Amino acid sequence: MAKSEQPTPVVFAIHGGGFRAGDKSRWGADKQVQQLISSGVSCVAVNYPFLDSMPIQDILRHCARAVQFTRFKAAEWKLDKERFASMGGSAGAGTSLWLATHDDMADPKAEDPVLRESTRLVCAVCNATQATYDLTRWESFLGPAKPEFNTSEAEGAMFYHLSSIADFATEKGKSVLRECDMLHWISKDDPPLLLNNSQVVEAPKNRGEWLHCIHHAREVHKECAADGVPCIVLQDAPEPKPDVVKFLLKHLKVLP
């Protein structure tokens, strides 16, 4: 919690780990988190279930609920509901991107008051992000996947807890892929994005580059440009490069 007499803006900090590992405690000593708090921004570190217990589409909804729960508690915690942002790395980056681009998931008629709250953000910072969690789209901007890029032939289906990749062609499969597709959700009303994918390669040569290389960020940028969404790819930006904390403070409307 940032010290303030007025309700503070909020940045969600979402850890990486391939949706298989990691913990929110890593943010405790993070330099950027400390800079944000000292600048008057409260930070919320988020844990979430892993793929061994539920599919990606449900994990993402858990993270959306964390945003809604925090908004539900805004008055008690002296937070400004209108100034919420997110940042993260790898899986946390993709989740931040999904939250930033997805249509508002608030359900005004929900019996659960938490679910009546908005999921919208004012900006997001995504470090080593994936462009989309519709894995069937990856070859269109990364090129063909080599066998060693995946842990098994069934990895793609297991990501969604589907029985096989044949399920992608079913109505259920199509609905799941669309729900997880950040490129699909990008629209002109989305908030500004700052993407930092430091692996600048012509084509992925290993699993790490397949998951995190610059082509993910550039594909998001291309879609944002088509829809008029402000989007900066750090590696393609002119000098001086944008500063992450300054980017967040600007869009959270925090004065220096």
Dist CA 168 CA 147 (whole Å): 20
Exposed/middle/buried for residue 24 (C-beta within 10 Å: 0-12, 13-18, 19+): middle
Predicted local confidence at residue 153, as pLDDT: 74
Q: Is 186 helix (H, G, I), strand (E, B) or coil?
A: coil
Q: Which phi and psi angles does 229 have, rounded to 5°?
A: -95, 130
Predicted local confidence at residue 255, as pLDDT: 84
Instruction: List beta partners, residue 89.
Output: 127
Answer whether 10's CB lies under 8 Å from 79's CB.
Answer: yes
List the chain domain ranges: 8-251
What separation in angstroms does the CA of 133 have from each of 27, 56, 111?
Answer: 24, 8, 30
For residue 256, pLDDT beyond 80: no
Predicted local confidence at residue 236, as pLDDT: 98
The residue whose two tokens read 């993270």 is: 63
Q: What is the pLDDT of residues 181-194, one digit of tens each?
A: 999 999 999 999 99
Which of 108, 129, 141 lies closest to 211, judged by CA? Answer: 129
Helices (H), the chain: 31-38, 56-72, 74-77, 91-101, 138-142, 155-159, 171-179, 182-185, 207-212, 214-227, 244-251
Dist CA 100 CA 117 (whole Å): 15
Confidence of residue 102 (pLDDT cuts 50, 70, 90): very high
CATH domain 8-251 topology:
Rossmann fold (3.40.50)
97-102 mean pLDDT:
98
β-strands 8-14, 42-46 pairing: parallel
- What tokens does 188 get? 């002109």
